[in-house]
């Protein structure tokens, strides 16, 4: 294409754009006169249906406090295509010193907290709960940080695969930067399954 032709095309483009936009405006005005509100209502209704579906897919994880229960989706540890519904109840959240959990290890981040949870499979298929490496803590000052530890207590181990109807109440020992903040449990897809708001004292 010659330089002359390219310049002519560039000079003609704004005029074409104005003509197209003007045409669109007159069409919209004609539609409004011919059938007021009808097309807009139909478009709005169909958009809301699509939008509602998107919101359901990206619904935030339940935010729990001590004494409350929520639910999340878990996968079978032996077959990740098998998913089931689990419930989690936050029984307590206690800040402890190393001696309280019979360890000589000091918290690397700043503060040990023992989170006591009841995990139950309320679905119809096996599902796993594996907190190590899957829980992160954050607050208004600090971005999400891995807070899991290998520390344990004398209670039952909640890290298990649960058959339908099975449950365990046990402790997860976490290492958080400071008291307060939020601990989130992430599923295998990297999505927060549930979150727990920790007490500030």
12-64: per-residue pLDDT in tens? 444 443 443 344 443 343 334 433 433 333 332 332 333 334 344 456 789 99
d(CA 160, CA 38): 56
d(CA 58, CA 191): 10
- For residues 155-172, b (16+ Cβ closer than 10 Å) or e, as one string? eeebbbbbeeeeebebbb
User: Looking at the 3D structure of the chain, how many domains does it have?
Assistant: 2
- Would you state the pLDDT for residue 35? 38
Answer yes or no: pTM beyond 0.85. no
Q: Does one domain contain both 35 and 129?
A: no
Q: Does one domain contain both 68 and 46?
A: no
Q: Does one domain contain both 50 and 90?
A: no
Q: Does one domain contain both 30 and 108?
A: no
- Would you state the pLDDT for residue 61? 85
Q: Does one domain contain both 52 and 67?
A: no
- Would you state the pLDDT for residue 13? 44
H or E stretch at 25: helix 3-34
User: Between 157 and 9, where is the model more confident?
Assistant: 157
d(CA 89, CA 112): 20
Residue 182 in this model has a pLDDT that exceeds 70: yes
109 lies in which domain range?
A: 63-197
Q: Does one domain contain both 96 and 45?
A: no
Q: Does one domain contain both 104 and 155?
A: yes
């Amino acid at each position: 294409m010659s330089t002359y032709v390219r310049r002519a095309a560039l000079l003609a483009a704004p005029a074409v754009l104005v003509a197209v936009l003007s045409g669109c405006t007159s069409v919209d005005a004609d539609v409004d006169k011919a059938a007021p509100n009808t097309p807009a209502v139909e478009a709005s209704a169909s958009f809301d249906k699509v939008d509602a579906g998107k919101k359901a897919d990206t619904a935030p994880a339940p935010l729990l406090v001590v004494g409350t229960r929520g639910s999340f989706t878990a996968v079978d540890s032996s077959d990740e295509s098998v998913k089931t519904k689990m419930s989690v109840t936050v029984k307590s959240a206690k800040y402890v010193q190393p001696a309280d959990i019979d360890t000589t290890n000091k918290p690397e981040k700043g503060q040990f907290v023992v989170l006591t949870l009841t995990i139950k499979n309320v679905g119809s298929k096996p599902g796993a709960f594996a907190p190590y490496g899957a829980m992160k803590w954050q607050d208004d000052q600090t971005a999400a940080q891995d807070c899991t530890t290998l520390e344990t207590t004398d209670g039952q181990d909640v890290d298990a695969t649960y058959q339908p109807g099975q449950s365990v109440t046990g402790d997860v020992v976490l290492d958080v930067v400071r008291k307060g903040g939020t601990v989130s449990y992430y599923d295998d897809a990297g999505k927060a399954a549930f979150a727990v708001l920790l007490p500030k004292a």
